[in-house]
Amino acid sequence: MDHFLYRDGSLHAEDVPLTEIAAAVGTPVYVYSAATLLRHYRLFDEALAWGPHLVCYAVKAASNVAILKLLGDAGAGMDVVSEGEYRRARAAGVPGDRIVFSGVGKTEGEMRHVLAGGVRQINLESEPEMRLLSRVAAEMGVEVPVTVRVNPDVDAKTHEKIATGRSENKFGIPIARAREVYAEIDRLPGLRVVGIDVHIGSQLTDLDPFRQAYRKVAQLTGALRADGHAIERLDLGGGLGIPYARSNLAPPVPQEYGAVIREEVGHLGCEVEIEPGRLIAGNAGLLLASTIYVKEGEGRDFLILDAAMNDLIRPAMYGAHHDIVTVAEPAAGTETRPYDIVGPVCETGDTFAKAREMPQIKARDLVAFRSAGAYGAVMASEYNARPLVPEVLVQGSDWAVIRPRPSYEEMILREAIPQWLSAG
Ligand code: LLP
């Protein structure tokens, strides 16, 4: 459930008409609902209430500091994958002991930064990384809590670009080699084993792959404990999918996911961490756009929007579906017609939908891309020299710009013409 509903004939974000935001900020713009973000975070928190746990929001999904502040103040931990994300979480007031540092290629500089600032744990992804972290921690005179991300070789049954738990993927250490790796950690200075980490992919709509992976983690917990390691924390990753099309069968909800976790690892007495991103932010945000032209084509009409692939890359990159709705509520029984919905960028891939049935649309009509809160604004670029898309947060009847649209001057003045080019 989200808080984007039609009221008085017009789509609202909580109590704010989207027309008001479009008029004040312009389009395209991302709009987030605070009530929806908090609701989704709390669903996970409640789903794990049967035992000690921490819901670490995957910052990569939507990393605006205002969103991190909202979730952090509600008690969320954070899962970060770079120094930039770590700094964002800290800037939002999240204490280091609630921040988990994940990621395949942590650099020495990043390690030093988070060790100095404080971190709950570092999830190791490879042996070279483990050895480097040991050296860095020992040099800094600290002992860092670590887990090893194991690759359980489970098919997540999701899009190939976002599946991470097969042996051919670059992520983690093969689960069969985990005991050796944990044994080496014990011999290295500066590292203290606290648990195991696993993450098998994103937009999972079936609980079975989670169950298989968690069962393997439970078995490994037993084996590692028998080897003398203190496994007290299990980081079970993120990945629970969301309904992108209202017409689809809804994927399992956090409560059902929490029940699977309890069944598979609940008996181990470990603190459970999870790292959901998409389910918290996805349906808590939409991308608001305006129609520039309606162009008649050969056998089809094109809706040319002022949002483009640089603002929302998911359709171009993953062939992803986003529901696109008019901000003006269509009257009951309104006839629809098929449109190809595209952006102004000079690539055929800048297509959001083909033959999408929509009510008749005219220039300047506002439309909203639903389910765009996760992996939307964070993946935006300035391709075609289109200024970075702004973001707005709504809470009740309040709203604020949380990332302004840069001016063209700002965009151009970030760059520099070298002396030797400007001299002549
Ligand atoms: N933990 C780790 C280690 C991850 O790699 C990810 C996502 C998450 C947690 C959060 O997963 P979530 O709960 O959001 O599914 N850009 C793609 C999605 C990439 C996901 C990358 N990793 C998309 O737009 O679909």
- Whole-angstrom Cα distance, residue 81 to residue 50? 28
Alpha carbons 294 and 276: distance in angstroms, whole number: 39
Alpha-carbon distance of 329 to 314, in angstroms, equals: 26
The residues lining ligand 1, judged by C-beta closer than 6 Å to any ligand atom, are 58, 61, 79, 102, 162, 199, 202-203, 237-239, 275-279, 314, 318, 374-375
DSSP code string of 166-218 = STTSSSSEEGGGHHHHHHHHHHSTTEEEEEEE---BSSB--SHHHHHHHHHHH
Active site residues: 346
Q: Which atom of ligand 1 is nearest to the CA of 197?
A: 3
Quick one: pLDDT at residue 250? 84
Looking at residue 309, the DSSP 8-state letter turns out to be T
Phi, psi of 128 (to 5 degrees): -60, -35
Q: Which residues partner with 368 through β-bridges?
A: 288, 325
Q: How far is the CA of 374 from the centre of ligand 1 (A)?
A: 9
**Are 315 and 324 spatial neighbours (Cβ–Cβ below 8 Å)?**
no
What is the model's pLDDT at position 161?
82
| Tokens of residue 339, six digits | 């449109």
Choose the residue to mutate in 71, 158, 202 for probing ligand 1, maximizing ligand atoms within 8 Å of C-beta. 202
Range list for CATH 2.40.37.10 in the chain:
4-31+282-413
Determine the distance separating the centroid of ligand 1 and the alpha carbon of 278, expressed in angstroms.
7
CATH number of 4-31+282-413: 2.40.37.10
Contacts of 183 (CB under 8 A, 6+ apart): 227
Q: What per-residue confidence (pLDDT) applies to 315?
A: 98
d(CA 13, CA 34): 9
- pLDDT reported for residue 201: 95
Question: Going by CA atoms, what residue is nearest to atom 22 of ligand 1?
Answer: 202
| 291 CA distance to ligand 1 middle (Å) | 31
The pLDDT score that the predictor gives to residue 424 is 62
From residue 91, alpha-carbon distances to 64, 108, 112, 376, 380 in Å are: 10, 21, 18, 21, 21
Q: Which residues contact 328 (CB under 8 A, 6 or more apart)?
A: 9, 10, 11, 365, 366
Q: Confirm if 278 and 318 have CB atoms less than 8 A apart.
A: no
Q: What's the rounded Cα separation, in Å, for the pair 36 and 18?
A: 16
**Which residue's CA lies nearest to atom 9 of ligand 1?**
238
The Å distance, Cα 158 to ligand 1 centre, comes to 12
Atom of ligand 1 nearest to the CA of 281: 14
Sequence-separated (6 or more) residues with CB below 8 Å from residue 154: 165, 166, 200, 209, 212, 213, 216
Can you name the CATH fold of 63-276? TIM Barrel (3.20.20)
Nearest CA to ligand 1 atom 16: 375
Q: Which residues of the chain have pLDDT under 50?
A: none
In this structure, which residue's CA is closest to atom 8 in ligand 1?
Answer: 238
Mutation to probe ligand 1, out of 43, 59, 60, 160 (largest number of atoms < 8 A from CB): 60
Residue type, 275: E
Q: Which of 81, 278, 313 to mutate for ligand 1's pocket (most ligand atoms within 8 Å of CB)?
A: 278
Pair 206, 169: CB distance under 8 Å: no
Q: Take atom 23 of ligand 1 and give the residue whose Cα is closest.
A: 375
Q: How far, in Å, CA of 352 to CA of 323, rounded?
A: 10
Ligand 1: centre distance to CA 100 (Å):
15
Q: Kindly give the distance from the C-alpha atom of residue 45 to the centroid of ligand 1, in angstroms, as a whole number.
A: 19
Q: Which atom of ligand 1 is nearest to the CA of 320?
A: 25
Nearest by Cα to 189 from 126, 119, 140: 140
Which ranges in the chain are annotated with CATH 3.20.20.10?
Answer: 63-276
pLDDT for position 80? 98
Amino acid at 298: E
Task: Take residue 413 and report the two structure tokens written for it.
Answer: 């003045």
